[in-house]
Amino acid sequence: MRFDSLVDSVGHTPLVGLPRLSPSPDVRLWAKLEDRNPTGSVKDRAALWMIADAEKRGRLHPGATVLEPTSGNTGISLAMVCLQRGYRLVCVMPENTSVERRQLLRMWGAEVIFSPAAGGSNEAVAVAKRIAADNPDWVMLYQYGNPANAQAHFDSTGPELLADLPTMTHFVAGLGTSGTLMGVGRYLREHAPDVRIVAAEPRYGELVYGLRNIDEGFVPELYDPAILDARFSVGPRDALARTRELVELEGVFAGISTGAILHAALAQAERAVAAGIRADIAFIVCDGGWKYLSTGAYSGTLDEAARALEGQLWA
Amino acid sequence: MAVQVRIPTILRSYTGGEKAVSGSGGTLAELIDDLDGRYDGIKARLVTDDGSLHRFVNVYVNDEDVRFLGSLSAPLADGDDVTILPAVAGG
């Protein structure tokens, strides 16, 4: 396949069957390999769509500064796109993220401002909003509320999935900004309304939920529960166990958030088997495991690996 | 009918610092009433004046979000694990 430039190659990722993890020939799991994007994550789609949308609206001009709160992957994707388009990128990232994420951000030319670990991404959003107020000429794309984030998946991920798997019965993805679930979900509601849309959200250690009061809570502006059929919270131990099964049984080397998604996908598979119904369950492999090697996710016992993730934003 | 309830840091002032407590009820609403009987004031932090779950509170029964199980009417069974968490940003 030939493309005019790297950003033109975003998307069109493979959907691969998982014959050993699938419980039966009638209940099958399919992995959408989003690690096959230019920076190795699903966020390349949202980054490209948000930048293109801002350019179309005249919000971005050569030399502009882009600002974004991110736990890592969106920042890395934006850095890749901004570097090629001639924009400066400033990312606000919680300090409890993997060392590889900050190395990659800097490699692609982004500047990183750290926000305190306590409060996780909530705090990164709050810090970014303060910086944006102090720098009115900077452009905050704001992945949590930017419709172009979900639109990327409505325009690309959703159509790719349904074209590759017209018999799809379930779609399972991670819930962070909710962009993937809202975009693919809306596309499927229009074109394959019987598909169950299932969210898997990471359950972190207590530090991340350390708000001072409930009113500091956060629900992404993009999130619309009406698009979803179910939502599961997956802790680090289950996510790690599934991440390891995925590489050990199927050879797919994925990041830890993908393990959380697979855990929810397998729960749907078990329900289909118990109900005696056919199922084709597609789920998102958000990124590869490379960025998480330093966390110890792939070595030692599960308990050791889970302990190492305590307090970390692992998804 | 006993269920185990995990309490987030932010609400432990009501449970005397306990991370997990047991409670009872056939639905989430009944469980919250039961908890409020022993941990006075906790209900007001979880349920709004108009009787719905607080926007920034997520409750899970066996890891599934109760908003997709009937919200406050979500049924509970003996031995269920209930987790309460504040809504925080991902991404």
Residue B91 lies in a domain: no
Q: Give Cβ neighbours of residue A144 (< 8 Å, ≥ 6 apart).
A: A69, A125, A177, A218, A220, A221, A222, B89, B91
ipTM: 0.95
**Cα A40 from chain centre:** 11
pLDDT for B8-61, tens place per residue? 999 999 999 999 999 999 999 999 999 999 999 999 999 999 999 999 999 999
A2 to chain B, minimum CA–CA distance in Å?
Answer: 31
The confidence band for B91, taking pLDDT boundaries of 50, 70 and 90, is low
Note the pLDDT of residue B21: 98
Taking each helix axis as running N to C, give the angle between helix A256-275 and helix A236-250, from 0 to 180 degrees, rounded to the nearest 10.
80
Q: Give Cβ neighbours of residue A276 (< 8 Å, ≥ 6 apart).
A: none
Provide the domain count of chain B.
1
Q: Which of the following is catalytic: A41, A43, A178, A291?
A: A43
More confident site: A162 or A211: A162
pLDDT for A155-193, tens place per residue? 999 999 999 999 999 999 999 999 999 999 999 999 999
Q: What share of chain A is helix, strand, coil (3-state, %, to 5)?
A: 45, 20, 35
Task: Judge whether residue A74 has pLDDT over 70.
Answer: yes
Domains and CATH numbers, chain A: 7-36+156-309 (3.40.50.1100), 43-140 (3.40.50.1100)
Residue B65 lies in a domain: yes
Residue B26 lies in a domain: yes
What integer is the mean pLDDT of A29-58? Answer: 98
The parent domain of residue B52 ranges over 2-86
What does the alpha-carbon distance between residue A256 and residue A70 come to, in Å, rounded to a whole number? 17
What does the alpha-carbon distance between residue A302 and residue B1 come to, in Å, rounded to a whole number? 32
Task: Judge whether residue A294 has pLDDT over 70.
Answer: yes
What does the alpha-carbon distance between residue A53 and residue A59 come to, in Å, rounded to a whole number? 9
A43 is catalytic: yes
Note the pLDDT of residue A261: 98
The model carries a pTM of: 0.96
A98 is catalytic: no
Contacts of B56 in chain A (CB under 8 A): 214-219
Task: Judge whether residue A251 has pLDDT over 80.
Answer: yes
A249 to chain B, minimum CA–CA distance in Å?
Answer: 25
Task: Write the CATH number for B66.
Answer: 3.10.20.30
Instruction: Indicate the residue of B60, B65, B89 with minimum beta-carbon distance to A220.
Output: B89
